[in-house]
Amino acid sequence: MGGKKFRVTGDRYPRMRPRRRRGRAAFLLVAGVTALGMLGYGTLQLVDVFSGDDDGGRAPRAQAGARAGEDCTPASTAERLPEPAAITVNVFNATARTGLAQDTADALAERGFTIGEVANAPEEYDGQVNASGLLVGTAQTEESGALTVLATQLDGVETAEPRQPAGEEEPPRVVDLMIGEGFTELTAADEAERRLAELTAPPAADASPAC
């Protein structure tokens, strides 16, 4: 057959290219953007956890702090400790020195304490107290602060394990004072008053509890 013949000239040749898959490219693009977004969000969460700058982190801590303040804020010392007149002291002489219980009871009465029984110490304490004195009371007495108040009046005094109440109607602020071998006299009145004032002083206005 005749006809014209065509000759390819130049250095460029037509090439067959596969058809582009636009759907796959779009999917890959969306997946990449999603992965970057999740990575950025995760980074922000880590920063918030360690810095605590987000509102969600502050609110729980603030609420917890408020609850801690309510739970651990102690009542003022002045509110917890009773006045000397509200404390009944039974004075017992656990030594061989005569008249010691009555003299001590009279001195405590002058300082505002209410005096109950005055006598020789029970057999279990007689001659067994080496300190200047031994304070004996129930668990309620200890919790009331009566032992703490009375201890300001006597240097070197010790506290015994709580005893059982003598009866259901026993007042919570009854203290048995067993005068021991180490006793010479009560703490000087002005020093005892200073100690008591320190115990009953209201807390500073700017003082905050350590929880």
Asked whether the predicted pLDDT for residue 75 surpasses 80, the reply is no
**Which tens digits make up the pLDDT trace of 131-163?**
999 999 999 999 999 999 999 999 999 999 999
- Residue where a domain stops, chosen among 17, 47, 72: 72
In this prediction, residue 34 carries a pLDDT of 66
Quote the CA–CA distance of 124 and 85 in Å, as a whole number.
28
In this prediction, residue 7 carries a pLDDT of 54
Q: What count of residues does the chain have?
A: 211
Quote the CA–CA distance of 20 and 93 in Å, as a whole number.
110
DSSP tag of 14: -
Quote the CA–CA distance of 194 and 132 in Å, as a whole number.
20
Quote the CA–CA distance of 206 and 133 in Å, as a whole number.
38
92 in the same domain as 34:
no
Residue type, 105: A
Domain that holds residue 83: 78-200
Asked whether the predicted pLDDT for residue 196 surpasses 80, the reply is yes
Q: How many CB atoms are closer than 10 A to CB 195?
A: 16
Number of domains in the chain: 2
**Which tens digits make up the pLDDT trace of 78-130?**
558 999 999 999 999 999 999 999 999 999 999 999 999 999 999 999 999 99
- Residue where a domain stops, chosen among 38, 57, 72: 72
* CA dihedral (36, 37, 42, 45) positive or negative: positive
